[in-house]
Every structure is written in structure tokens, then in C-alpha cells.
Homo-oligomer: A and B are copies of this chain.
Amino acid sequence: MEHKKATIHDIAKALNIDSSTVSRALNNSPRVTQKTKDKILMKANELGYQRNHLASNLRKSKTFTIGVIVPRISRHFFSSAISGIEETAYNAGYNVIICQSLEDLEREKTIAETLLANRVDGVLISISMETNNYDHLEGLKQRNIPVVFFDRHCNITNNSNVIIDDFQAGFDATEHLISHGCRNIVHFAGTPNLEIYKNRFQGYKAALSRHDIKFRETFVLSSRLMHEDGIKNAKKVLALPNNIDGIFSANDVAAISAMQYLKAQGISIPEDIAIVGFSNETISSVIEPPLSTINQSGFEIGKTATNLLLSKIDRTSTRPVYETIILKANLIERKSSLR
């Protein structure tokens, strides 16, 4: 008993009027009398009418869909960003296609193709660790599909970003360690192609300099900051001739695996080595001792990025073509760095 869906034509026929009037009524056009509108709305209700978005979007040549590319949705930061994105997008009548690059450039390229083929109205992207060029985003640019970078932005000019002040956060994290007596502070840096990691690193450097602590190249350990990398880094820390007493890691994952390794080696945290991470993953408050970290509200970033994107999709918007919004990030002090 599958009843076919009612169309505006069914409504029109039932009321003996034209479908264009029905369409206008349903879109609340001033060209239709209130009386007719009422009649139409009533009948629409009666027939269980629902607009066919395919037809409507085809005519308007808009998909009301935005594409989202993130490294992986299982990261707490990204899943909360996605919550913010969806909330905002749905409220504006947009759907969201979520794709994971899994930190793989090739995959990111394929995804960009797919989104293009799906004719999304705009794209939100947080680039992968491997992304060192942006050719795959050219197609979007050429077709005038607005792109907004969030969190992991890129270093080319002329684009819009929603980010946090990574430099300041890196500075704060490092200064916090210094203020708790650390002098030999190692930095777990991320891959150098990502601006966020460069900036966190610069913040680290600046904090050292501000407190007249000599910067040492050997104290900077670069990696992809995965679980294994944290362990490798921890080993390197123990192998260093200097007496390391602090670690500022550019993400929580590496900080945590390092912490676990160090603890297993009999090092006490924070007494021997104090640690500060970055991102405030769920695990960070649970591990023993709880990890001090930089909190960045994924939800807020997602929301802001989506609003920015929607304003770009709406050509009538008066906002500047390219715009970078910098949100607050704050240090959460937990036991791993308090001594």
C-alpha cells in the first residue's frame, strides 16, 4: 500500500488552480493571496505533501549540501567539530557529507573529486598531515565552490580559515612548564607542512626566549604524533644527555603514549618530567596523572566555520571574500604538569 508522494501538481489539480501558484504559495511568495495560501497549505497537509528537494534543487541548481573533509572522525576534536557543523548546517537547511582522509593525501584527492562530482555548495576542510600542496582543491576554486579551512589550515594566501591561536597556545603551554620549574623542555612537534604545528613550535620557541632559556635543535622531535611516535619520542627523551624535565607535545595522543612509556620506565610524572599536551582528548582527563592540555572547542570551531562557509555560499553576503577567524584556546592545568 505504498502511496505515491503528492506533488504540487496534485495539489493544483485538487484545487483547480495552476501549479505555479501552488509553488509560490508554498514558498510564501507575496504574489499569492493569503486566502489561496491557506487553501493550498490545507490541501498540502491533507495530501501529506513534502517538497521534492531533488526537483527543487535541480531547478535552482543548488544541492544544499556541504562537504566536510577531516583526517578522522574518531578523534574527539573532530567529532565535536562535526557536531557543531551539523547543528549549524541543518538549521540552515543544509545537509552534510562527511569524509575522512585518514591522513592520506591520495584519499584526500579522491574525496575532493567526489565532492565536486556531488556538486556540493561548499567545503569545510581540515587537511591531512601529508597534504603539502593544494592542487586537488583547484577544481573547487575553479567552479567557484567556497572552501573554508578549519583547525588545520594551509599556508597559501587567499582563503578563509577558522583556527585557534596556535602560537599563543604553544607559548602558554611552554611558559606554564617554565613557571613550574622546567628548564630542559622537549617539544614533540608535528609534521612541518602543517601551519598549526609550525605555530605551536614557534610559540614554544618564543616562550623559551622570553625566559632566557636557550633553544636547542635537539630538543625538537618531529613526527606524525601517532601513538607509536609518542613512545619513540619518549625513548629519545631518555637517551638525551641533558636532564629533560618537561615535555610540550603538539597533541595529546603522543603525549599520552609517551607518558605511559615513561611511567613504565619508573619516571614519575610530573616530579621528574612535567607534560603538557594539546587538544584535550577524552582520554586526557582519565589517564593517571591527568594530562594538562590545551582545550580547543571543536563544537565552537565547527559552528563558526560553518557559518563562515554559509555566508560565502550566499553570494549576497557582504562579508569580505577571504577571512580568517581566530578563536580562543585555553590551557587546562591538570596534575601532569603541576609540581
Would B100 and A86 count as touching, CB distance under 8 A? Answer: yes
**Least Cβ distance of A118 to chain B in Å?**
6
Instruction: Count this chain's copies in the assembly.
Output: 2
Would A54 and B51 count as touching, CB distance under 8 A? Answer: no
Question: Given A50-B117, A116-B50, A117-B51, are A82 and B86 also a contact pair (CB < 8 Å)?
Answer: no
**Least Cβ distance of A49 to chain B in Å?**
11
Q: How large is the interface on A (under 10, 10 to 19, 20 to 34, 35 or more residues)?
A: 35 or more
Question: Taking CB as reference atom, which chain B residue is nearest A75?
Answer: B79
Within 51-74 of A, Cβ neighbours of B (below 8 Å) are at 51-55, 57-58, 61, 63, 72-74
Question: Given A73-B83, A86-B99, are A143 and B2 also a contact pair (CB < 8 Å)?
Answer: yes
Question: Taking CB as reference atom, which chain B residue is nearest A55?
Answer: B58
Cα of A86 to Cα of B53 in the assembled complex, Å:
23
Contacts of A117 in B (CB 8 A): 50-51, 53
14 A-B contacts, Cβ less than 8 Å apart? A2-B142, A50-B119, A72-B83, A73-B73, A73-B82, A73-B83, A74-B79, A74-B282, A83-B100, A86-B98, A96-B97, A97-B97, A282-B283, A287-B287
Whether, in the assembled complex, A80 has its beta carbon less than 8 Å from a beta carbon of chain B, the answer is yes
Mask for A276-295, Cβ within 8 A of B = 1, else 0? Answer: 00000011001110000000
